[in-house]
Structure 1
């Protein structure tokens, strides 16, 4: 399932410097000046930023030949690297100029980050219910499942140049990608993460994240790690989906992935909603208006499922 890309584009993807949330960069600068900061402080700050999470796990696993296990979480990556090297790496990864300053079209980062952050909190809520020993792992995989979008936006490919802030949705991004490269960001993200030394289970989950039909074809054991990642993205989409038909379709897909009744999924969704204020504080951006969130929960709760 490797994407069909030219050698030049592959090199651009591997060398891409991925933009980070400005608020996270500010917090890391403050952390670099702190004499009392510790591992937990660093992990809490970077856990909301897909690009920095990838940088830390990638670097930790690049020198993992002497270890039996790869880093599967940001906590493990910081432990493997050591606090000071990890803090320095996180700070350097955050100080990447915005794409708009390079003269290329600016990508609509805010809706991208919004979906990633919501998927991350939904994944943690899913893991609490189904895989309580994999909360960090599933949360990280969900947060970075769309990392291929961030990487593709740094290349010379004109994929997203007509996709502006007001028209950005995950579904439209995929349509633009498949038109331009005959593949999508899940294939690109999985390809990148594999080359960056991420665990096979996470690589597989990212590659599957946009392909429910293929997951059904290869998975005959019910809900698994990849299903949890895919479901987190669908729940993130449900947060903003307006059309009734599309809502019902995504509801049915989430039920099929998690093998849970809709009432249980509503509890997962509600649990995730309680984590939004914490994530907003870490990311320094508004993820969801509380009034709209309450309306969304009410609408989903009244579903026939």
Structure 2
């Protein structure tokens, strides 16, 4: 099927055809001896085209300091190559737009050109962000023609292809259905058509690679064209967070542009869309829709950023195995809670929990079993504590539990429950063997019954000292700090 379709490009009489002015511009673009007089002559044969080029040179897209009144002056602003590229964009669009109305239903034809022109605008905006100022017109033309293969499909297979156009719900779905049914997509067929028309090789290559998102250390036209499609998908169908997420991923992986640069691209498109609509006599979005789209994108990007920040904070603040907070988080939390306890004169309890004989468990049953027990212990403790309590993996098999606003009596009751629930854990191995564990717990309380510590470090040392005493006294027990334990601070 693929080879048949490619060979039919040379003989199909229904294919879109190029106007004579476009053919001449293509010919001039391929010659080294092209001069200003030749460009003036051929463009002047189409007064409407000449007027649009002059209007383009005067538009905010090019920010000319002086009024432009003829093609010669436009060349000074746009350059000879720029004038030919813009002329080609206009002449091809005018001709192909008329022909597409005979090949597609009005809705499909309208969507095709709205997407093509929006992609061209997106590609141009991407080029500006990447400092490709000399290639902006080339980027516009290449993106404008990247989906030309859809018109080729309509001409070659009018009945079969209409079912795809009418049933597909997205551009990506159109592409996938093409490849499944015809063994090639409109990128490859379009590239072959552009080669048949003898367009510049950079336009042909950009079309062929428009659906391949390969990144590059030095992104160029191909990468910009490929990324423009994802931006256009969101631009024409806003409100879908997955589309803005896809645009972020593509612009970053293909072009190295982050979400803030993407926001600048969308704002550039908003600022320039009206001028492009006027030049191509097409309506894409009204001003309210356009402003709403950009505001919505900004909100989605902000939300996405906050989610990423929270995910990163979660990863940084939590132990990767158990999900408990990590040692770094514990240090900050204890410092903060201790200061609050002293300032407000409210009690603060700190418990250090150590799993008894855990090395024996690892040595006997392996680290996978040991890890599973640690996870089970954290789950068990988490079920007993409040949201305001802070459980941390202090190191290895040792955990720290910060209990804000908790008196010594309340802490004693809670830790007894936790101790009993740890004793009740029955970790079953694949062999059927069940592992049981116990825990030793040391407790220190600040600002309760007139007891207080000089700083959070002293409180931590006290809880640690009580833990040592619990282990030294036979394990599987809770010990509360008191001054008589001072001599046992070293374990």
Q: CA separation in 1, counterparts of 2:34 and 2:270?
A: 31
Q: Using the alignment, how far apart are the partners of 1:246 and 1:271 within structure 2?
A: 19
Paired position in structure 1 for 2:246: 249
Residue in structure 2 matched with residue 44 of structure 1 by the alignment: none
Higher gyration radius (CA): 2
SS in 2 for 1:288: coil
Q: 1:160 matched to which residue of 2?
A: 161
Which residue in 2 is equivalent to 1:30?
A: none
Match of 1:83 in 2: 43
CA spacing shift, 1:7–1:300, aligned 2, 3 Å: closer
**Separation of aligned partners in 2, 1:177 and 1:83:** 38
Segments of structure 1 that go 5 or more residues without pairing to the other structure are: 19-50
Q: Would the alpha carbon gap of residues 62 and 158 (structure 1) be closer, same or farther in structure 2, given more than 3 Å must change?
A: farther
Which residue of structure 2 aligns with residue 136 of structure 1? 137
Q: Deviations over 1:97-135 (max 9, x none)?
A: 65666xx76361000001111111112222223200111
Cα gap change, 1:236 to 1:299, in 2 (>3 Å): same
In structure 2, the partner of 1:27 is none
2:270 counterpart of 1:273? yes
Whether 1:61 and 2:29 are equivalent positions in the alignment is: no
Q: Separation in 2 of the partners of 1:288 and 1:170?
A: 18
Change (3 A) 1:267 1:197: same
1:20-31 correspondence runs (5 A): none
Residue 176 of structure 1, CA deviation: 2.9
Structure-2 separation of matches of 1:221 and 1:121: 23
The corresponding residue for 2:15 is 16
> How far does the alpha carbon of each residue in 1:19-69 deviate from its partner, in whole angstroms, 9 at most, with x for none?
xxxxxxxxxxxxxxxxxxxxxxxxxxxxxxxx76xx75544334767x238
How far apart are residue 86 of structure 1 and its match? 5.4
Aligned to 1:42: none
Q: Normalising by structure 2, what TM-score?
A: 0.45
Alignment of 1:183-262 (within 5 A): 183-212=184-213, 215-216=214-215, 220-239=216-235, 240-262=237-259
Separation (CA, whole Å) in 1 of partners of 2:24 and 2:199: 10
Deviation at 1:177, TM superposition (A): 1.6
C-alpha distance after superposition, 1:65-112 (max 9, x if no partner): 7x23899xxxx9x82872244569959x739865666xx763610000
- 1:96–1:145 distance in 2 versus 1, CA, 3 Å: closer
Q: Return the alpha-carbon distance in structure 1 between the equivalents of residues 148 and 123 of structure 2.
A: 16
What is the alpha-carbon distance in structure 1 between the residues aligned to residue 46 and residue 176 of structure 2? Answer: 37
Contact conserved, 1:147 with 1:185, CA < 8 A, in 2?
yes
RMSD: 3.5
1:148 — aligned with what? 149
SS at match of 1:153: helix
Q: Deviations over 1:118-166 (max 9, x none)?
A: 1111122222232001111111111111111122212235343224568
Q: CA 1:286 to 1:211, structure 2 compared with 1: closer, same or farther past 3 Å?
A: same
Alpha carbons 1:70, 1:198 under 8 Å: kept: no
Q: CA deviation at 1:270?
A: 0.5
For these two proteins, the number of residue pairs brought into alignment is 255
- Measure the CA separation in 1 of the matches of 2:48 and 2:287: 36
**Residues of 1 paired with 2:209 and 2:33: CA distance?**
23
Contact 1:14 1:192 in 2 (8 A): no
**Structure 1 equivalent of residue 172 of structure 2:** 171
1:87/1:169 Cα in 2 relative to 1: closer, same or farther (>3 Å)? farther
